[in-house]
Structures are given as C-alpha cells and as structure tokens.
Structure 1
Amino acid sequence: MIRILLITLISFYWQCSFTQGSDRKLLFIGMDGCRWDALETAATPALDELQSHAITNIDGLTEYPTWSATGWSGMLTGVWHTKHGVTENSFTGANYAKYPDFISRIEAYQSDLNTYSVVHWSPINTNIVQSVDTEVNVSSDLAVKEEAVRILTDLDPDVLFVAFDDVDHAGHVHGFLPTASGYLDAIEITDGYISEILSALHNRPGYAHEDWLVIVSTDHGGISAGHGGGTLEERSIFTIFSHPDINGIRNSRTIRTSTGIFNEAQFQPGTFASPIDQSPFLFGENQDFTRELWVKAWVYSEDPAFISNKDWDRGYYKGFVISAQSGQYWKVNIGDGTDRLDIQGGFIEPGKWHHLAVSFDRDGWMTAYEDGAVVGFAPMEKIGTIDAGLPLVINQDGTTTYAIDFDGSYKDIRIWNAVIAENTLVRWANVPITPDHPNYHNLLANWKCSDGTGNQLKDSSVHANHCQVTGSVNWKTNQSDTFRIFDYSELPRITDNALTALGWMCVPVQSVWDLDGKNWLEACDQTFVNHYSVSSSMTIFPNPAGDDFTIDLSDFGDVKQMLIYDFTGRFIKRMMPDNNSGLSKIDISDLHKGLYLLKADNGENVKVVKVVKK
C-alpha cells in the first residue's frame, strides 16, 4: 500500500513538473559495442556529467546472440528476438510490422512531432526504424556528431536518435577490453562527440522552456575475440537516463555469496552416474522441467556432456543435454528428432565453480542461466516429445559411450518437474533446499555430490533416487570455496530503453502491443492528473531553494506533519511545521541538490508540491 502511494505521488510530480507548461523532448544516444568497465576506465567527462543527474544502471543485460542487429532491434522495439525475429545481422525473419521501433510508435501517436534518426550503421535506419520524419545515414561517427549538432542548432527536434559505431569497430580491431588502448581511445573520442552534442542541446534558444530526457545505452559488449556469443561480457550493457531533476543514482547487480566446507566429487574421464529409477525423468511432449547444477571444469576439449538423456552425436536427436563447448564455453541443446534448439553460454573458467540452470517451458521458452544471470532463451513450440528411451546420465550422454570425456567436479544437481522462476533460482542457487522453497513439491531429485566416499550419489530429496556411479570419483573431502550468484532482478534489460522513451514522450503503451521492457521513469497518467491538481493553498518560496524555504499553510488548515521524499519515492525526512496555520521555514541544508516531493497532511486532505534544491 505504501509503495503504491509513493509511485502515485511520483507519477503526479513527474507530470506536474514536466507536462504542464513544458515541452517534453528526447535525445537518445546509442554507442555500439561499448563495455561499461571500459567506459569507466576511459576519460569520459561528458558522460560523467550526464550521470550526475541520471539513473545509471551499470549492469544491464541484453540477450544471446549478441549481434548488432539483435541488440539494436531489442533496444528500439522493446521486445526480444522471440518477437522481433532478428537473430543475425542479415535481419532474416524480422517482424517489425508487428513490433515497430519506438520512434514509429511516437509518430503514430503524435505525427506532428519532429523526429530524426542519425546513424553510422545504416541498417538501423534501413531495416529497424520504420517511420521517422528525417532519416540520415552517414559514413563516420564524426558525421553523426556534426549532423546531430546541426539539427539541435538549426531545427526544432522533438525526438533525436543518434547511433555511433566506431567503438564497435575499435573493439573488433583491438579487443572489447578495458585494457585495450585502441578501444579506450574510441570511447574517449565518442565522449568528445557527445560533449559537443550536449553543448548544442544546452545552447538552444528555447532550452530553458524545453524538457529534455537524455538516454545513453549500448547494444552489446564483447570479448577479445569479438561478440555474438553468450558470455556475460558480451551480454552486459549499461543505461543512462539523464534529466536535470534527477539526483545521481547508480544501480548495480547484487552478488549473493555462500562459503562453506563440503566434499567435492571430481569425476575422472570416463566416469558417469545414473539414477536407479529413470521413470521420473520421462518428460514426453508437454511436461515442463528445470535442471540446475554447479560445475567446476578441469580439463576438456570439444563438447563433453555434463548431464543428458540423449545421443549427443546429433543435436536434433531426441532428448536434451547441458554440455561443455570448445573454447571453455558451455551450451544447452534440446531436440525431438526433427527440430532442435541451442543456446550458447559463457566461459567456464578452469578451477572455478559455475552455476548452470535451464528451464524448459514446453509451451513457452527454453531459458538458460549462468551464475544467476539470464544467458538467452528460445521458443519451444516446435519441440515435440524428447523421450528417446535413453537414461538420464551425469557426466556422459544418454548412450554412456560418447567419445568426448569431461574431467571436472559437480555439486548440487537438481531436477524439477516445473519451470523455476528466475528470482527463485537466484535466491536458492547456493543454499540448501528446504520445505520453504516455493517449488519444493516439484523437486524430483537433488544429488548434492557431497557423499565423500563410495560409488553412489545420494538423492537428498524425498524420493531418495540415488545415482549409481560407473568408474572412479575422486572424492576431495573438507573443501572450502565461495559460490557466487549474480542477482540482476532489479536491473534493466535492453528492451527497457524503448519503454522508457515511450513513457517519457507520453505515448500510452497498449497491452496488445505485447512489449517486454519496462519504463524506468514514471509515465504520463492523465487520469491521475485529472484527479489531483496543484493548489495555490500551499505555496513554497523561494523554489528552487538553497538551504531553506518558506511554506505558506494559511489556507490549508492544521497541518499534522510534512514528509519529504526524493523523486524515486524514497522517504528522506519527517518534519513538523513551526507554525501550522501560517508561514513556516523548512531547513533542507542536509539535502543534496535535486528534485524532492513535499507532502503535507492536515488529517483530512493531502497536498503535494515539488521542491528543487539548487
């Protein structure tokens, strides 16, 4: 109830501050292939200044595959590849007619707005952007900057989208690394271009009466070899939502750690284990299920299986497999004898524990997770029965004779007959399962792999379906290690950029659009504006204020209390007026510069006003 009230108040203030007597406008800047850790290493004064009045999310996520066409499509349309259809730079399968970009949606809602799109990588305009007043394709980032400055200086844009490409070019030449000097140089040059664009923005004759939101983001990250894969370095993005009335806020992922003493089961090459009762693991055509495990790699090449119930000789064969992949990566595959799905995961660092999980929603998506973060997903509607008559096997495929062996350790292998939600996976990944788990009744097996001796892996679930080991397990007793899980649940996805842009421009988002992102700022809510109004019965002066301001309560009755919140709805302080029926001086010397919400309550009515600390 409190959260709903605060959101409503925030929504009211964004509207009263920005839609009444002001002119909402949007500058959206895209930097192709820019890693956040490299951006922080580089000298970027323009972006640093933007962040001082911004919600900055340094650990956002895009999806696998991390191609530019996929990333820009998600950023501009607000939906994942499962809807916009683009999984490679050829744009094959694009469905922009059903899922258009946010500029086209703005044009459809209010066609008299002046919209511009200026890009270096021309496929953004020629393929993704469907409807824009002025489309400009140029051959260099310098030309992007010059055209953006010209538009801001000489014309009257309402929406200006610009996309730089040279950072991505530098990454392909020097590596997408915070230690690559050529990559850092490209970021610094781009920051210089952004500085000139922002100067042109601030020098507009009508800037004081315009209400600009500046968004900066990237379509993907990268590694030394490039991008396109599923490593966290390739999937990590950032978002900056900057406005003068926003106090600087930085959001980053939460790291959940668990350290303890345990027995480690290292499987020697050729060793495998299989549960005694195989019947619970026949999932047929319709049964949802989830597999998760901790794995630590030692030595392997090619694609040995971690856990499987299929003949891994062919990916389209019936069954599933979570396996290693050449180059120290991992992947998941499922097939029904005709069709197959594959998702490539990240880097399995030798000697380090990694948590891998895959949920299979048979009329939805196959979703892969690595150390708590979503790697990617793919629609499962074409996958039929996956039962091939082969057993479920740990450290081998279902035939138990696959030629490629894995030398590594396992811990806490869990199988569920349900789709386990992301927040539940993250919360429970590195802690023991108890009856408090929301899907406890769906747990088919939990082999902790901590027996310490013998040739069985004991199942700690209520089913006691133990695994028989064939071969040799090297039991390492009394081991100590830290198991890390990354919690991205409160951080943006690349699709949030489009929703935030639409919300800022007061475009009503329709449920039938079936968008995947969320708006990080409060959208226009005309029903709320109509219900509440800013009343002259409570006046603040001066506003903006310095260390204090005076509030006139003479026409508002006997005020019981006054509360101050920051613009995100976080409670800051409670105050009592020194004269609840007249003029009261309020001390705000302890507050940082920015926008605040003051709520006064007289027991019968509530009044809310905006206060700006300068």
Structure 2
Amino acid sequence: MKKGFTLTTSLKYLGMALIFGLFLMATGCNKEFENTLPKGFRNDTAGIGAGKKVLYIVLDGVTGTAVKTIAPPNITQINARATYTFDGLADNKYNVITNASAWTTMLTGYDYTKHNVVSEDFAGLNLQATPTIFTRINSLLNTARTVSIASTAVFSDKLAADATVKQTVSDDAAVKAGVVAELTSGNPALVVAQFHSAETAGAANGYTASTPAYATAIKNIDGYIGEILTALKARKGYSGENWLVIIASNKGGGPSGGVQGSNIFNDASRNAYIAFYNPRFMSVKISQPDPSSYPFVGTAPRFIATTASNVTAIQKNPTLGNFGTTGDFTFMFKFRDDYGQGNFYPMFLAKRNAFNSVSSVGWGFLFGSNSAQLDWGGTPRPGFGIDIRDGRWHTVAFTIGVVNNLRTLTLYVDGLTRYSGSISGRNIDNNTPLRLGGDIGTDGNTQSNVLIRDVALFNVTMSANDVAAVMRTQIKPTTPFYSNLLGFWPGNETSGTTMIDQSGKGNNFTYSSNVTFSSFEEISPNISPDISPAAYTSVPNGVDIPLLIYNWLNIAVSPQWDLTGRLYNPTVLLPTN
C-alpha cells in the first residue's frame, strides 16, 4: 500500500440517478485518502471557497475499458471519492481522434469543430479564438501559478506556452518527479501532468488489458499517481487547501473515426477513463446508457381500414416482391398494431390480388385473433406464435434460400425463428404490386389499424443471427448487407404521398391521398433504435473538463466564451459534527 493511504471503516458511497438513469447506485468498503480538511470547510464547486486548487492528470491512450479490467489500486481508491466513468468519451463527434486534437479539446473546452485541430501537427490551431486553461486562469487570476509538466514536447510547445512554469521532461517517471517537487515546494493554483507511456505501449502492442506492455504501463502510471497524491497530502498547507483532482484519458486506443450514424460508444479510440476526485466527494459512477433503454422515436404512416375507407401504399414496380423459383432474399419490416382487439383475417401487407381470401398466387401477412401469419400462396401459412396485437413495436422477417438442397422459407418474429419449411418448385409470382395496408372492412373482423415502417428487401439470405441483429436496428449505410438492398422504405415521411425508397433504386411506394403520419416515442424490447446524440453527452467528455476547472476556481464563465462542454458538479458529502 502506498504511503499516505489509510484504511478506514466501512465507507458507504452512493451513486446519484441522473440522465437516462445512467448514474448507477453502488455500495461497498474501500480505503480512501485521509481527509485532513476541517469538518466545517466549505467544499462546494459553485460557491466561494479559499484555497481551491486543481491537479489535472492526463493519461494518454488509456482506455476506460482497460482501467476497469485492470483495476489499478490507486485509481480504485480514487473512485471511492469521485464522480467517475469508464465510459467517458474523448469527444462525441465522428472525426478521427489524434493525440493533438484530444489534448486541445481537454485543455481549451472546445471540440475540434471550434479549435480546428485534427492532425498531430496541430495545423489550424488558433489559441486566440480558443484559449487554453493556462491562458484564461493567468489572465483572470493574476497571482495564480499554473504549471505544466509533460513528457511530450509538442504538448508543452503548442498548449502550455502561457503556463507560469512549463517543463518538458524525458519520460513519465520524470513527470511524476516534477509534479511531486512542485507539490512539495511550490504554491500552484493549477498543475497539469501529462503521461504518455501507455499511449506508446498501446500503439506498439495494442490497447487492451490483456496486452502485457500496455497493462504494465497503466500500472506504472497508477503507481506514479499514488506517489503524487501522497505528496499532495503531505503539503504543509494541505489542511487549509481544497484540491480538485482530475484524472482523464486524452483518448482511447485503436482505429478511430466513427461512421456517421454509428454508436460512438463502440469506438474504442474515444473510450476514456475520467474521474473528478476530492476527499469530500461521494462516489458517483456514470455509465453509458443501456441500449434497451433507448426510446424508438419517429413517425410512421398509419394504415387504417374501416367499413368506409382504407389507407394504402402501392409499390410502383410490379415485379418487386416476386421471388420466382431461384435466388436468395430477405424481407423485413417493423409494425405496431393499434386496432386493440383480435379479429379474423384482415391482411395488412401483401403481394397478391385477393386480399380478403386465400389465394394460390402471391403472398401476404394477415392477422388472426391476437397474432398474425404469413400466407405463402395458400400454403404454408406459418403463424407468428405470439401475441403481437399489444400496441407495441414488433419486427418481422422472412428469408428465402437453399437449405439441405431445398429452397426454404424461414419466418422470424422479434428476432426468433418461428417457422422453416420447403417451398422448392413453388412459383407464386404475379403482377400485382406489393401493397401496405388492408382492404375496406366489411365488419369488425376485417378492419385494421397498423403502423408500418423500415420495410426492406435484400437479395441475400441472411443467417438467423444476422436477421436478428439487422431487424432490430434502423437501417443505414453502415448496416451489414446494405449493398444488397433491392429497396428500403423507412416510412419516416411526415407529409406527401410518396414513400421514398432510400436504397437508391428508385422503387417508391405511393400513399393513398388520405394517409396520415403518426409520431411515436416508446421503448420496445424488440427494437434497438439509434442512440440519440444527447446520450453521448450524458457521460463526461474531454471537452467538459475546463468548465469544471473554471467553476472550481470560482472563475465566472462568460457566455461569450461559448465553451462546448457541460458542467459536471460532483456531489459533496455534508460535514459531520
């Protein structure tokens, strides 16, 4: 155990429920840094408090995932008195992450769209428009001593020019020694320490906890952090000081540059460990949102069939949806039944002439009681096997391909295989256009009310796993098999009479003139919708850190600065009597 740590009795540390329920509740026993602050010391991040200072430790290339797996002892103790995350983000954009862009973001409080740094040579950097924390602190707190100790020369040269003290040293061990010396004999308001050895090891060997060189580098840095915090606690004036300690990855590791529409949480190059520590903070762990908690949000055409009228969408290409006797295909869609009760047997999506009876030509989906079925030329007529008339979104798909030398139809509902059987030699092609929406009803048994969207046809037979994965998502250019699309109709229009084919094939549907479009927002266990951009700001980002530093140092942030980040205000334990 590092000198300067003491074992305390069982400490209860609580998490606070915040955006999307992301901040998890946790309890446990931990060692912590000895709290020598007076019991009545003002320790808030918004009010005026004497002796407020900041220690900012930058960990280059240290992924949050690796820190979570390795659980370095000093960082683990820090988490017991910190707002922290293993799911932090270097940034929430889709740019390629570099050390230069990440450093600039976390030292200016602006993302790359404002500071313009993308490449490692800092091309485009304009510190007049996007000043660093050194510049602002020194200009607003005239007597403040700001210190930068870095193991990378370009970090010092490009971003620490306005620090009161700027040192570039040979390696991470020298960074630790320089910081310890400053904390021992100096009186800084801000100390920034930049450690680079994990980035070097990760770039050469891989950024995973199972990579020995990378894991060793992280453990060594953790040891340096322990020595630095021991020196911090040993300061002569520590009992009257109020230190905010920030430990943050500049970036993660691995190939970077997310594709527009992809889930940025899956981009390892952005995955960061970020912690805001003070002995009086409660432990608050911030995690990325659970994908099952994302709401499915959008609009969809409503296909209503009553005894007086019906709403339809008719495909302009009459051959689309003919499958012949050869070839591989996958067809899928999402739907929600809002009729509210079981009935027999209104058809709601089909390529056939007779919507109100069994036909040997064509295929279609029709409701049956509280479920539904696929009619394939009269036979087979596999059922969905579940109650799907519950007012919730469901996914449906079928594939056509050769299995054991037989051309086989396989039906999937909500990602599960519901039927698989031979259709070898069956040709149910016809010239009736593919249609969404049922017939005018004759009575209560033939009426319908359904939302349909994300209709897609592929010229490939997907595996069961691929079907389950693709049908849950919202199709986009990054979706597997996107190049195999014969047509894709999201149905996300809000007006007009054209259901646009977004595959680029030009096979549009035409809505009937009485179509209406319904908005929806709901959580469905059957759909993994696109993550909202707001979710990326629900965990700490590198761009958020300067705002907290200014707040801690009681520097009023002018709206004219137009900082990009958001404020994370740690939860403070109330003093005890």
TM-score scaled by length of structure 2: 0.55
Amino acid at match of 1:239: I
1:413 aligns with 2:377: no
1:207 deviates by: 0.7
| 2:456 and 2:485 in contact (8 A); partners too | yes
1:235 aligns with 2:280: no
Tell me the residue number matched to 2:190: 159
Higher strand share: 1
Pick the aligned partner of 1:494 from 525, 534, 542.
542
In the TM superposition, 1:516-531 aligns within 5 A as 516-521=564-569
1:612 aligns with 2:566: no
1:507 deviates by: 1.2
1:233 deviates by: 1.2
Tell me the residue number matched to 1:71: 102
CA distance in 2, matches of 1:484, 1:162: 40
| 1:117 and 1:134 in contact (8 A); partners too | yes
| 1:153 and 1:201 in contact (8 A); partners too | yes
Tell me the residue number matched to 1:150: 181
Output one character per residue of 1:497-542: Cα deviation in whole Å (capped at 9) or x when no partner. Answer: 11111111111111111111122128xxxxxxxxxxxxxxxxxxxx
CA distance in 2, matches of 1:410, 1:154: 70
Pick the aligned partner of 1:104 from 135, 150, 154.
135
Secondary structure, aligned partner of 1:55: strand
| 1:83 and 1:95 in contact (8 A); partners too | no
Q: 1:111 to 1:357 in 2, by over 3 A?
A: farther
Output one character per residue of 1:276-311: Cα deviation in whole Å (capped at 9) or x when no partner. Answer: 9xxxxxxxxxxxxxxx98999999xxxxxxxxxxxx
CA distance in 1, matches of 2:117, 2:569: 28
1:37 aligns with 2:65: yes
Tell me the residue number matched to 1:186: 217
Amino acid at match of 2:195: F
In the TM superposition, 1:546-557 aligns within 5 A as none
Identity score, percent: 25
Moved more, 122-131 or 198-207: 122-131
| 1:31 and 1:164 in contact (8 A); partners too | yes
Output one character per residue of 1:287-336: Cα deviation in whole Å (capped at 9) or x when no partner. Answer: xxxxx98999999xxxxxxxxxxxxxxxxxxxxxxxxxxxxxxxxxxxxx
Pick the aligned partner of 1:23 from 44, 51, 65.
51
1:408 deviates by: 6.6
Output one character per residue of 1:383-426: Cα deviation in whole Å (capped at 9) or x when no partner. Answer: xxxxxxxxxxx98xxxxxxxxx824799873656xxxxxxxxxx
Tell me the residue number matched to 1:508: 556
CA distance in 1, matches of 2:252, 2:54: 24
| 1:257 and 1:485 in contact (8 A); partners too | no
Asked which structure has the greater RCO (Cα within 8 Å, sep 6+), the reply is 2
CA distance in 2, matches of 1:92, 1:441: 45
Give the superposed CA RMSD. 4.4
1:27 deviates by: 0.1
Q: 1:458 to 1:16 in 2, by over 3 A?
A: closer
Q: 1:492 to 1:17 in 2, by over 3 A?
A: closer
1:612 deviates by: 3.1
Pick the aligned partner of 1:263 from 379, 396, 413.
396
Tell me the residue number matched to 1:55: 83
1:52 deviates by: 0.9
Tell me the residue number matched to 1:388: none
| 2:60 and 2:198 in contact (8 A); partners too | yes
1:162 deviates by: 0.4
Amino acid at match of 1:187: I
Aligned residues: 365
Pick the aligned partner of 1:222 from 240, 253, 257.
253
Amino acid at match of 1:237: A
Q: 1:183 to 1:15 in 2, by over 3 A?
A: closer
Output one character per residue of 1:329-381: Cα deviation in whole Å (capped at 9) or x when no partner. Answer: xxxxxxxxxxxxxxxxxxxx9984485799xxxxxxxxx9x99xxxxxxxxxx
CA distance in 1, matches of 2:459, 2:224: 46
Tell me the residue number matched to 1:246: 281
Q: Which has the larger radius of gyration?
A: 2
| 2:501 and 2:508 in contact (8 A); partners too | no
1:202 aligns with 2:219: no
| 1:298 and 1:351 in contact (8 A); partners too | no
Q: 1:17 to 1:263 in 2, by over 3 A?
A: closer
| 1:221 and 1:227 in contact (8 A); partners too | no
CA distance in 2, matches of 1:196, 1:443: 69
Amino acid at match of 2:70: A
Secondary structure, aligned partner of 1:145: helix
Tell me the residue number matched to 1:176: 207
Amino acid at match of 2:201: A
1:483 deviates by: 2.4
Tell me the residue number matched to 2:369: none
Amino acid at match of 2:62: C
Secondary structure, aligned partner of 2:247: strand
In the TM superposition, 1:282-301 aligns within 5 A as none
| 2:499 and 2:509 in contact (8 A); partners too | no
Q: 1:201 to 1:415 in 2, by over 3 A?
A: same
CA distance in 1, matches of 2:484, 2:566: 43
Secondary structure, aligned partner of 1:257: helix
1:203 deviates by: 0.7
Amino acid at match of 2:565: G
Secondary structure, aligned partner of 1:59: strand
1:260 deviates by: 6.8
| 1:18 and 1:211 in contact (8 A); partners too | no
Amino acid at match of 1:48: T
Amino acid at match of 2:557: V
| 2:104 and 2:159 in contact (8 A); partners too | yes
Instruction: Give 5+ residue unaligned stretches, structure 2.
Output: 1-17, 19-40, 260-265, 294-391, 402-433, 436-452, 461-465, 518-524
| 1:415 and 1:443 in contact (8 A); partners too | no
Pick the aligned partner of 1:46 from 56, 71, 74.
74
Secondary structure, aligned partner of 1:406: helix
Amino acid at match of 2:558: Q
CA distance in 1, matches of 2:45, 2:201: 44
1:151 deviates by: 0.7
Instruction: Give 5+ residue unaligned stretches, structure 1.
Output: 4-11, 269-274, 277-291, 300-348, 359-367, 372-393, 396-404, 417-439, 450-454, 466-479, 523-565, 568-594, 597-610
In the TM superposition, 1:441-460 aligns within 5 A as none
1:458 deviates by: 8.2
Amino acid at match of 2:576: V
Output one character per residue of 1:533-589: Cα deviation in whole Å (capped at 9) or x when no partner. Answer: xxxxxxxxxxxxxxxxxxxxxxxxxxxxxxxxx64xxxxxxxxxxxxxxxxxxxxxx
Amino acid at match of 1:518: R
1:492 deviates by: 2.0
| 1:214 and 1:241 in contact (8 A); partners too | yes
1:116 aligns with 2:147: yes
Q: 1:482 to 1:195 in 2, by over 3 A?
A: same
